[in-house]
């Protein structure tokens, strides 16, 4: 072979090696980075061209995929959209996915490990692969009742089956229409996205489980009362101090016993029973009770209710918190649900559920079952115990006290005729010159049916006037079935 020919072969060999190396790099090493690139249309077409399973509530699909006449093949649709949007999230060509669309993406696309054999069966039979259907635990009537009762006001509702942990309602208001973000019309999607992000009411936030957590106000007195009972030093009839005012330790700050600056004592001789203090929602009683039982006992009980735990239901739930290293003044304020105590509505529903379930808190779960297109069941809800903040005997005392709040206390607006209803209202201060948040936390049970619920209405004022009637609507929807 002459010299020029060898040079040609050398150049061809180098070019071949470069081609081989670049192909290997892009197809193997850089594969994930290229697939994740938002500008990679081929990846988008592949992703949206796959059948996606439905999300179902009470036998009706609330999120489904329909064939489209564009390159994406399928369009995700939601009906009714806004009422379930904080749960379903959205599935967008431009902005990705949120909610269950994100947390259950592998299941909905059919790529989850649990669906491996079903994928093999589809391949062998020549069928197009299909995603699995996800049946939720939500009760359609309870969800509708919560949505209607909030009526667009800023707030949230969470309801749970105390015995199983099944989430029966999860509403955040105001909400958004996920169909606007799922559209394949890029311009309109971007306009909708900009409007939602510019909205000061934050409709994209799921207030029931995340976002800026809320001070629970007097609803937190349920946790303090439970902690006191668990020390063994208190019963519902134990007399505790309740003067009209209480000067916080090592401070000049004075706590009033009732809202509006009233300085009435909780009972004759500046004292009352624990049950009576809860019925009246006496601030000074619970401030001093919190100091008496101590931070360690209060924190331990709160953690058994679920505080501090990062839950996946499978939506991610922001942990509810107490402050750290509290002095007595901070502990007193925390014990009436102020200072740095911050909660989600779901967490407070778990508090009521633990009381209703003989002191046992069950893991909240949002998925009832998963099944394939041929109706084969892949998984089903299995109740799991999360904690036990109360003995059964102390839980019975708590229910008795909470029933007193509804029958003849601050929570009468939540009463349901012929039904055992127990609860606690809350009016949570949160900002200078701002109206307080309105809370109701409670449970209802009759004839084997039961539900625990938490309602918060931002700047709604007194819990007895605003949140309690909403809770009544939701509990009645579940109980009456």
Positions marked active-site: 218
Question: Minimal CA–CA distance to 364: which of 224, 158, 218, 173?
Answer: 158
Question: Minimal CA–CA distance to 411: which of 438, 447, 450, 390?
Answer: 438
Distance CA(368)–CA(217), nearest Å, equals 33
Tell me the two tokens of residue 136.
Answer: 């939720």
Which position has the token pair 């890029």? 186
Region for 337 from its dihedrals, namely left if φ exceeds 0, alpha if ψ lies in -120 to 50, beta otherwise: left
b (16+ CB within 10 A) / e for 96-125: ebbbbbbbbbebbbbebeebeebeeebeee
Question: Minimal CA–CA distance to 164: which of 356, 317, 309, 395?
Answer: 356
Give the chain's length. 481
Distance CA(161)–CA(356), nearest Å, equals 10
Peptide bond into 403 cis (omega under 30): no
Let me know: does 164 contact 384? Beta carbons within 8 Å.
no
Q: Give, to the nearest 10 degrees, the angle between helix 140-150 and helix 81-88.
A: 110
What number of H helices and E strands is found in the chain?
A: 17, 21
Which position has the token pair 């081989």? 20
Q: Do strands 254-256 and 245-247 pair parallel, antiparallel, or not at all (unpaired)? A: antiparallel
- Write the burial class of residue 14 (CB in 10 Å: 0-12 exposed, 13-18 middle, 19+ buried): exposed
């Amino acid at each position: 072979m002459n010299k020029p020919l060898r040079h040609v072969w050398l150049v061809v060999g180098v070019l071949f090696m470069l081609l081989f190396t670049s192909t290997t790099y892009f197809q193997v090493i850089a594969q994930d980075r290229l697939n994740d690139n938002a500008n990679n249309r081929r990846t988008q077409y592949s992703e949206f061209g796959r059948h996606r399973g439905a999300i179902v509530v009470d036998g009706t699909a609330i999120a489904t995929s329909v064939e489209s006449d564009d390159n994406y093949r399928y369009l995700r649709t939601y009906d009714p959209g806004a009422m379930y949007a904080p749960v379903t999230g959205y599935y967008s060509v431009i902005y990705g996915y949120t909610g269950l669309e994100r947390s259950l993406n592998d299941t909905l696309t059919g790529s989850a490990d649990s669906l491996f054999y079903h994928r093999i069966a589809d391949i062998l039979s020549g069928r197009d692969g299909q995603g699995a259907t996800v049946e939720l635990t939500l009760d359609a009537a309870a969800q509708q009742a919560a949505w209607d009762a909030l009526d667009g006001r800023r707030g949230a509702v969470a309801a749970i089956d105390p015995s199983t942990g099944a989430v029966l309602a999860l509403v955040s208001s105001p909400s958004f229409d996920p169909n606007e973000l799922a559209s394949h019309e890029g311009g309109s999607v971007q306009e909708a996205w900009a409007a939602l992000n510019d909205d000061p009411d934050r409709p994209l936030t799921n207030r029931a489980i995340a976002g800026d957590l809320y001070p629970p106000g007097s609803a937190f007195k349920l946790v303090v009362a439970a902690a006191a009972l668990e020390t063994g030093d208190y019963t519902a009839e134990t007399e505790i101090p309740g003067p009209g005012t209480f000067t916080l330790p090592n401070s000049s700050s004075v706590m009033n016993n009732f809202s509006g600056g009233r300085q009435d004592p909780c009972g004759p001789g500046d004292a009352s029973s624990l049950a009576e203090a809860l019925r009246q929602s006496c601030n000074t009683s619970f401030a001093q009770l919190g100091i008496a039982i101590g931070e360690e006992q209060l924190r331990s009980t709160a953690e058994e209710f679920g505080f501090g735990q990062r839950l996946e239901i499978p939506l991610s739930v922001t942990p509810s918190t107490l402050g750290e290293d509290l002095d007595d003044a901070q502990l007193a304020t925390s014990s009436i649900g102020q200072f740095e105590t911050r909660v989600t509505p779901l967490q407070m529903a778990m508090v009521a559920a633990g009381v209703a379930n003989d002191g046992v808190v069950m893991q909240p779960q949002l998925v009832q079952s998963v099944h394939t297109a041929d109706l084969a069941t892949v998984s089903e809800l299995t109740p799991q115990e999360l904690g036990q903040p109360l003995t059964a005997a102390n839980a019975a005392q708590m229910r008795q006290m909470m029933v007193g709040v509804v029958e003849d206390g601050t929570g009468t607006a939540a009463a349901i005729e012929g039904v055992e209803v127990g609860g606690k209202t809350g009016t949570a201060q949160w900002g200078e010159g701002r109206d307080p948040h309105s809370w109701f936390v409670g449970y209802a049970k009759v004839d084997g049916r039961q539900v625990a619920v938490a309602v918060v209405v931002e700047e709604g004022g007194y819990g007895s006037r605003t949140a309690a009637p909403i809770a009544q609507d939701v509990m009645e929807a579940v109980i009456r079935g």
